[in-house]
Amino acid sequence: MIKISSLKKVVIGFRKFIKILIILVIAAVLILGIIKVTYKQTYSVSLNGEVIGYTQDKVALQKRINDYINTGNGDNVAFVEVKEMPEYTACLLKNGIETNDDEIFNIVTSSGTQYYKYYAITEDEDEKAYVKTFADAESAVNQLKDKKSTNSDKLGIVEKYSTEQVEYKSVETCVSELYKEKKVVVASVPKATYTGPSVATSLGISLVKPVSGTISSRFGIRSRDNHKGLDIAAPKGTAIKAAASGTVTFAGFGGNGNGYSGYGYVVAIKSSSSVTILYAHCSALYVKSGQTVSQGQVIAAVGSTGISTGNHLHFEIRVNGKAVNPQNYIYN
Ligand SMILES: [Zn+2]
């Protein structure tokens, strides 16, 4: 008997305990629910002990700040020196109060020293002009070389870092400011005086530009010879694309034996039964005789081989063996 009654007591006590526990759990869930609706888990962010804002994702925010500090903005800011990094403290933020990652990012990064990256074009080690990218600097120097500016050999490019922004110049401005012409000035390219058929006959094929560049000599009568093609100036090594598909009938160095004397390294492509296109003065050839090429395929590189005074493509279209003005069909 004694045993049974004591067991009853324990059971009753245990039931009471379970009831209280259930009530406590429900209360806790309700309180947490209310907190969740009213507050969000946040980090307060401080810089030098001063709260500058709140973020919900401290990892993402700090990564964004680190990336900017280390590698800049992908534009002209190269990197940033920051003395103090922000500190994050977990807190609950009342819903409705906004986090401000962008503002924090700006405050932290602007508290540091920004280093700008740019390029100086130098002449005899003197910094003559500043441009934003290496590509701009290279383009300006190459253009000056192509124009045979007399200071071409003294030009250089130097990578620069500065805490202050400098005035960047456009490639065109650099070229015009740095250009120094020779005493003997080559007259501007005259329009061809050659009078071919006034209405160009259709080639029967469509063309794409083999290179982009400036026209340096047109088809037609020049001072000493009848120019059979169109010259397009471009830096050495510029890819030459097939203006039209076809079969390579010649790829090699032009000479008396093959009928391409003076053409330097030249590719001839038969692009239809009547049309053959020549690409001359190349620095390199990428196709072989007998090979078929597709339109736009890179076949050679611009150079100045053969009888040539500078890097350019001599582009010549022959219809039934007779040279026609390429500008009747392209570059017009
Ligand atoms: Zn030419």
Q: How far is the CA of 240 from the centre of ligand 1 (A)?
A: 15
Q: Could you tell me the distance, in angstroms and rounded to a whole number, from the CA of residue 218 to the centre of ligand 1? A: 8
Place of tokens 């869930």: 29
Domains of the chain: 40-111 (no CATH), 116-178 (no CATH), 214-328 (2.70.70.10)
pLDDT in tens, the chain (332 residues): 556 667 777 777 888 889 999 999 999 999 888 887 788 888 999 998 889 989 989 999 999 988 888 888 877 787 888 888 899 998 887 777 788 899 899 888 888 888 888 888 988 888 888 998 888 999 999 999 888 888 888 888 888 887 777 788 889 998 988 888 875 544 455 554 444 444 567 888 999 999 998 888 888 765 556 789 999 999 999 999 999 999 999 999 998 888 899 999 999 999 999 999 999 999 999 999 999 999 999 999 999 999 888 999 999 999 999 999 999 999 88
**CA 279 to ligand 1 center in whole angstroms:** 9
Cα of 144 to ligand 1 centre, how many Å?
21
Ligand 1 center to 315 CA (angstroms): 7
**DSSP for 223-285, written as a single string:** SSSEE-SEEEE--TT-EEE-SS-EEEEEEEE--TTTT-TT--EEEEEE-SSSEEEEEEEESEE
Separation of 25 CA from ligand 1 center, angstroms? 91
- Alpha-carbon distance of 231 to 279, in angstroms, equals 10
Question: Is 194 within 8 Å of 325 (Cβ atoms)?
Answer: yes
Dist. CA 226 → ligand 1 center (Å): 10
At 82 the pLDDT is 82
Q: Are 238 and 211 in contact (CB under 8 A)?
A: yes
Q: What is the C-alpha separation between 213 and 232, in angstroms, rounded?
A: 6
Please name the residue that has the structure tokens 């196709």: 287
- What is residue 188's predicted lDDT score, i.e. its pLDDT? 52
Q: What is the pLDDT of residue 168?
A: 85
Specify the pLDDT at position 162.
79
159, 135 in Cβ contact below 8 A? no
Which protein residues have a CB closer than 5 Å to ligand 1 (ion)?
229, 231, 314
What is the CA(314)–ligand 1 centre distance, in A?
Answer: 4
According to the model, what pLDDT value does residue 256 have?
85
Q: How far is the CA of 188 from the centre of ligand 1 (A)?
A: 16
